[in-house]
Structure 1
């Protein structure tokens, strides 16, 4: 198919031509690019071209049209003002002519605003004098917006608009993997990545080039063209870094969007930012979905766990797409569901990451005890962990830890060559802030974050290690009994980590009136995400909006006995000089939660002593408060 978009300068030939080419998946060419330098200089000097100037230019274009017709076809933006020019280009039987029809005042105003173009507004009179409006072809009034013009042209051409179901903006690791996942599931997907000269060039095109089998993947490097290639209401998934970049991208999108279009933030944004963005976009007639995505690169490519929150109707329209690409649980159900309003989707993902921090640190502590106290080598550790895996402690993080233990580089274990500095991206710290804000005890998961911070201070740790010289005793003892306690301790801390995370979700849901479904959230986390496990499978059937894991019959008897194993492991680790902050904090959390009478009465007395904060009494009513003059005058 050959399409020539014609009209006087300033009528929008290039804009409409590019949009039309994108809709039809055809290459676009601008006839102005084929002018010889002599013609360009002449027009830039304000001198109109004559027919002798145009003749070789038109003949050159005619030859290109023959070449394009023999291949895929093309869309050409060309003024083609006179009938004889159009005859040189080719007969009207071979070419689909699109005439952009507009009055001189409208076009003149557009040309006045166009900077840096060699065709000056003063030449517009000569353009209209030369114009011979064709009696054939499609006449498209340019007073309409570009999208309406394109729809008019496609309807006149009787061409089905094969638009993309979803657009993914940002072709980093996660964005690219989700795009390939969508395309593989038969979802027509438009992809876009910003263009940064010398740094990010043709990123989207290269994704398609590297994956030629993905027929449903359409690349773009112009934002407006990308957006016009989407079905209405448009669904734009942002897979870009959290923070200011998201706000900037939203501002760039707004001028090209229409009421009802949906923006989905699939990054690790702060939930309060997401709530703010939801309110802002609602005022602009747009819908916003704050969606947590878990599973890493592999999950995004093969099936992630997804937590969309925000506009309920928008999520309802997205679920047919998301359910196709999501991981499936053991019942074949997709690991995606509507979470709740505002930024709740990102809040739940934040807590997911917090539990992930705790689970990772717990495994690191188990490894540390086995490696540096029991003096076990990585393959021995892997063997023990595999036994735990087969005895009901199955989890994704345990599985990958076993793989890591067995990975060698030459004759050495790769783990021994990795620097002991753990990085973090922020969600762990955010969850600590949220726990403080909602007054939820969070000790073990706080310690998981703190452990990473301490690990990052490598040079200081080395200096202090030399200063104190604490020696770790190594495995010249029978650790078999302690190994069983370690397994029980591992199981206990995992239960407590999940108790803490779900308690924060429950409290935030109550405080924000989100009405979050804990069982549904656990169900989403049964596959695709990093913290998927047999424990999560069980919780998905036990949790409800009023439940605490510590109160569940399934775990009461278990923790009643296993917490003693945790105490033994902590005692042994202290004697051995091995730091286990998450295990230690979990033990303190458990004891604090199950202790009926604590020492906090002394704290309240101290507060009243120096600040007259008052206190309540165990022998008085719940609404009565008291103050004591603790230090009598003259004493």
Structure 2
């Protein structure tokens, strides 16, 4: 077989198939391979008129169909299947070739694989791809890692198939060496967890505290989507809330089991944040909320626990008046927006920490730029985040940006009222309340960690530092309580 394909895709499930179609629609000849050949045939039969495809039936034939330097994209499940692809193709590749892993791999696995293939002169590019099956076809947000040399070969093709931001810029950029791309995608998914949890809490408050029906809440969300909360997740939430179940005639949201599942990337984010020592409570609360929703045995056992004795007057009637509901919705919007900013700020803090820990040199403004379109957390205010880190690359946190800080200050009174209302009604809002606690923790002149440190010294002689002089100290708590310097 002659080498005629500019790019190849192996793994033709929904994401791989749509990505291959995207490449073909963008003018590239695409070599196709799948472990089961039937999927390859089905793709060509159904979508062969969309562009130039080269179907192959074996790894050897697939690699032979690619022009040099060969660029092939593996779209398989993370873990063992990815290692199997490496075992299958690595021996067929030559120095200078590029092997892209477009799955949701853990960034540490990507670092290991990249190092192994680098010794053979092959570029391994762990690449985060966000946007789901529709994004893969119409334009995803793409976050490649790997070597700068690999991006010179791969980048022009990724820029051609990526989503376009409102200013026309392709939503892809080189994130940094080895596992940087998959790390950034992991954090993206963590922010996604937090964003979805906050939206769910806003819905729950409007439903249980204000007494609004799902269709009415959808209209509230549509209004929000015309303002600063303009985002893909707010948009689809309104669509979900207007949908009626065909079998029962009930709101669709009322027939869906209230047990949220997860595939692991949110959990990876929290685990990695703990390793890096970066506080990401917004993401952690979202992961734990999903976990709690799935513990049906615990929830059933605790269902009889007492709640608030009396609801506020509006809710006691089962529903707030229109004026009360409108004002409450404004408070919830402030709380949702402020909590969302906090969660995104935590995500950027984590990207910075990972970049520093692994020496990746990730451009924080570039991360915001590639998330402006195509991905699940795409939102209008991402362009403001991009601008903030462009103007001040050394910005210690997004919350130090004057515009965002001002908005948080303006939102805080309604934010506190919303959390208080949730408490009065017994509506759990771990995301919003946790975000507010994080905000108050950052702005506090002094935290009770001083007491924690004193306790640690008392029971474990872990020492402490003082505010009035340098050094490390220990108090002999079990003896004369004299203080001794230990450094």
TM-score, structure 1 normalization: 0.72
Instruction: State which of 255, 270, 279 in structure 1 corresponds to 2:115.
Output: 279
1:584-635 Cα distance to aligned partner (Å, 9 max, x none): 11011111111111111111111111111111111112xx11111124369x
Instruction: State which of 65, 84, 92 in structure 2 corresponds to 1:256.
Output: 92
Q: Following TM superposition, by how much is the alpha carbon of 1:162 offset from its aligned partner in structure 2, in angstroms?
A: 5.7
State how far apart, in whole Å, the 2-side matches of 1:292 and 1:416 are.
Answer: 34
Instruction: State which of 513, 531, 534 in structure 1 corresponds to 2:359.
Output: 513
Alpha-carbon spacing, 1:483–1:215, altered in 2? closer, same or farther (3 Å): closer
Q: Following TM superposition, by how much is the alpha carbon of 1:453 offset from its aligned partner in structure 2, in angstroms?
A: 0.5
Aligned to 2:484: none
Q: Does 1:182 align with 2:23?
A: yes
1:553-572 Cα distance to aligned partner (Å, 9 max, x none): 10112111312221111111
Aligned to 2:288: 450
Q: Does 1:432 align with 2:270?
A: yes
Q: How does 1:581-592 map to 2 (within 5 A)?
A: 581-592=430-441
Residues 245 and 255 of structure 2 are in contact (CA less than 8 Å); yes or no, is this contact kept in structure 1? no
Q: Following TM superposition, by how much is the alpha carbon of 1:262 offset from its aligned partner in structure 2, in angstroms?
A: 1.1
Greater relative contact order (Cα 8 A, min sep 6): structure 1 or 2? 2
Aligned to 1:208: 44
Q: Does 1:488 align with 2:354?
A: no
Instruction: State which of 409, 417, 425 in structure 2 corresponds to 1:560.
Output: 409
State how far apart, in whole Å, the 1-side matches of 2:56 and 2:294 are.
Answer: 40
1:487-515 Cα distance to aligned partner (Å, 9 max, x none): 11011001101100000001111121211
TM-score, structure 2 normalization: 0.93
Residues 471 and 577 of structure 1 are in contact (CA less than 8 Å); yes or no, is this contact kept in structure 2? no
Alpha-carbon spacing, 1:341–1:479, altered in 2? closer, same or farther (3 Å): same
Q: Following TM superposition, by how much is the alpha carbon of 1:523 offset from its aligned partner in structure 2, in angstroms?
A: 0.3
Alpha-carbon spacing, 1:472–1:438, altered in 2? closer, same or farther (3 Å): farther
Q: Following TM superposition, by how much is the alpha carbon of 1:480 offset from its aligned partner in structure 2, in angstroms?
A: 3.4
Q: Following TM superposition, by how much is the alpha carbon of 1:257 offset from its aligned partner in structure 2, in angstroms?
A: 1.5
Q: Which runs of 5+ in 1 are unaligned?
A: 1-22, 24-160, 196-200
State how far apart, in whole Å, the 1-side matches of 2:305 and 2:340 are.
Answer: 35
Instruction: State which of 346, 365, 384 in structure 2 corresponds to 1:500.
Output: 346
Residues 472 and 578 of structure 1 are in contact (CA less than 8 Å); yes or no, is this contact kept in structure 2? no
Q: Does 1:612 align with 2:445?
A: no
Instruction: State which of 383, 386, 391 in structure 2 corresponds to 1:540.
Output: 386
State how far apart, in whole Å, the 2-side matches of 1:352 and 1:391 are.
Answer: 23
State how far apart, in whole Å, the 2-side matches of 1:435 and 1:287 are.
Answer: 28
State how far apart, in whole Å, the 1-side matches of 2:310 and 2:68 are.
Answer: 65
Residues 614 and 626 of structure 1 are in contact (CA less than 8 Å); yes or no, is this contact kept in structure 2? yes
1:315-358 Cα distance to aligned partner (Å, 9 max, x none): 11011111110001112111111110110000000000000000
Q: Does 1:602 align with 2:447?
A: no
Alpha-carbon spacing, 1:591–1:285, altered in 2? closer, same or farther (3 Å): same
Q: Following TM superposition, by how much is the alpha carbon of 1:466 offset from its aligned partner in structure 2, in angstroms?
A: 3.8
Residues 308 and 425 of structure 2 are in contact (CA less than 8 Å); yes or no, is this contact kept in structure 1? no
Residues 307 and 426 of structure 2 are in contact (CA less than 8 Å); yes or no, is this contact kept in structure 1? no
Q: Does 1:550 align with 2:393?
A: no
Q: How does 1:71-82 map to 2 (within 5 A)?
A: none
Residues 372 and 472 of structure 1 are in contact (CA less than 8 Å); yes or no, is this contact kept in structure 2? no
Residues 210 and 328 of structure 2 are in contact (CA less than 8 Å); yes or no, is this contact kept in structure 1? no
Aligned to 2:485: none
Q: How does 1:400-411 map to 2 (within 5 A)?
A: 400-410=236-246, 411=249
Q: Following TM superposition, by how much is the alpha carbon of 1:472 offset from its aligned partner in structure 2, in angstroms?
A: 9.2
Residues 99 and 124 of structure 2 are in contact (CA less than 8 Å); yes or no, is this contact kept in structure 1? yes
State how far apart, in whole Å, the 2-side matches of 1:223 and 1:466 are.
Answer: 59
SS, match of residue 409 in structure 1: coil
Residues 10 and 34 of structure 2 are in contact (CA less than 8 Å); yes or no, is this contact kept in structure 1? yes
Aligned to 1:112: none
State how far apart, in whole Å, the 1-side matches of 2:42 and 2:309 are.
Answer: 54
Q: Does 1:171 align with 2:18?
A: no
1:410-459 Cα distance to aligned partner (Å, 9 max, x none): 33221211111111111101110111111111111100000111111224
Q: Choose 1 or 2 for highest CA Rg.
A: 1
Q: How does 1:258-407 map to 2 (within 5 A)?
A: 258-407=94-243
SS, match of residue 289 in structure 1: strand
Residues 5 and 66 of structure 2 are in contact (CA less than 8 Å); yes or no, is this contact kept in structure 1? yes
Q: Following TM superposition, by how much is the alpha carbon of 1:245 offset from its aligned partner in structure 2, in angstroms?
A: 1.3
Q: Which runs of 4+ in 1 moved over 3 A?
A: 466-480, 631-634
Superposed CA RMSD in Å reads 1.8
Alpha-carbon spacing, 1:460–1:607, altered in 2? closer, same or farther (3 Å): closer
SS, match of residue 263 in structure 1: strand
State how far apart, in whole Å, the 2-side matches of 1:512 and 1:520 are.
Answer: 18
Instruction: State which of 59, 66, 72 in structure 2 corresponds to 1:223.
Output: 59
State how far apart, in whole Å, the 2-side matches of 1:519 and 1:309 are.
Answer: 16
Residues 435 and 504 of structure 1 are in contact (CA less than 8 Å); yes or no, is this contact kept in structure 2? yes
Aligned to 1:570: 419
SS, match of residue 284 in structure 1: coil
Instruction: State which of 474, 478, 484 in structure 2 corresponds to 1:627.
Output: 474
Q: Following TM superposition, by how much is the alpha carbon of 1:469 offset from its aligned partner in structure 2, in angstroms?
A: 7.0
Q: Which runs of 5+ in 2 are unaligned?
A: 482-487
State how far apart, in whole Å, the 2-side matches of 1:162 and 1:514 are.
Answer: 34
